[in-house]
Amino acid sequence: MRLQDKVALITGGASGIGLATVEKFVAEGAKVVVADVNAERAATVADRLNADTPDSATSFGVDVSVFAEVEAAVQHAVDVFGRLDVIFNNAGIAGGKPLLEHDPAVDYEPMIRIDQDGVYYGILAAGRQFRAQGGGGVIISTSSIYGEQAAELSFTYSAAKAAVISFTRSAAYELAQYGTRAVAITPGRVGTAIINQFSDELKATFASEQLRGTMTEPEEIANVVAFLASDEANVINGTVVHVDDGYSVFKQRLDLPTF
């Protein structure tokens, strides 16, 4: 098990990609803090994991838009498991509307606080802990395909996710002296609750935007995150790992005429 005895803090860990990653990390031998704004759901996840694998998980309610709460989540990992080896800054929200219809208090500020500031807070709190431990540690943050391109209804979301990529590069540069790695992932269309709430027609359109013609499963993203957290990925640092099933390499398939 490549994550044996590593301690990981996973935000947004009670659902979607976060939950799949929590389960994958425990299966790979890690100790995990299930951190989520829904403290009750996080506790349920941790209890279920501990029933099958005793002492493998603990839960912590956290609003990642509040630095003091992110610091407390990191401290909780240290208090329970003695150290921190990995943080997966995964918590986020989605949504949007045309730019000129924005109410900044609704359509800009909340998403920036969670999707952008929340990642900054995670990098800062974990980075300080890694330094205090004598170095090491891995920081993985969830960006998006939208962090590298413009898209419909995504003015704020794209900005926040682009910031995650910039944060990752700068963190890798500044924290290299402590032996800490930083990596961003850019999921494409993943079958989480955020997307599954839409109509079958829209979900079919989303699926067609990827090369396999299907939605990515959260477990497939979790597999990549587990690899990036492991010592096998020691040379992957300061970069963006596309986990988008080819979304970013083409716009749409064309019905070509006969030549």
Query: How far out from the chain centre does Cα 244 lie?
Result: 14
Rounded to 10 degrees, the C-alpha dihedral 120/126/131/134 comes to -160
Asked about 121 being catalytic, the answer comes back as: no
Query: Which residues touch 132 (CB under 8 Å, ≥6 apart)?
Result: none
Catalytic residue among 120, 146, 157, 247: 157
8 Å CB contact between 180 and 133: no
Could you tell me if 108 and 157 are in contact, meaning their C-beta atoms sit under 8 angstroms apart? no
Helix axes 118-132, 155-175, angle to 10 degrees: 10
Could you tell me if 214 and 244 are in contact, meaning their C-beta atoms sit under 8 angstroms apart?
no
CA distance 13 to 11: 5
Helix (H, G, I), strand (E, B) or coil at 243: strand
Please report, as a single letter, which amino acid is at residue 181: R
Q: Which residues are catalytic?
A: 157
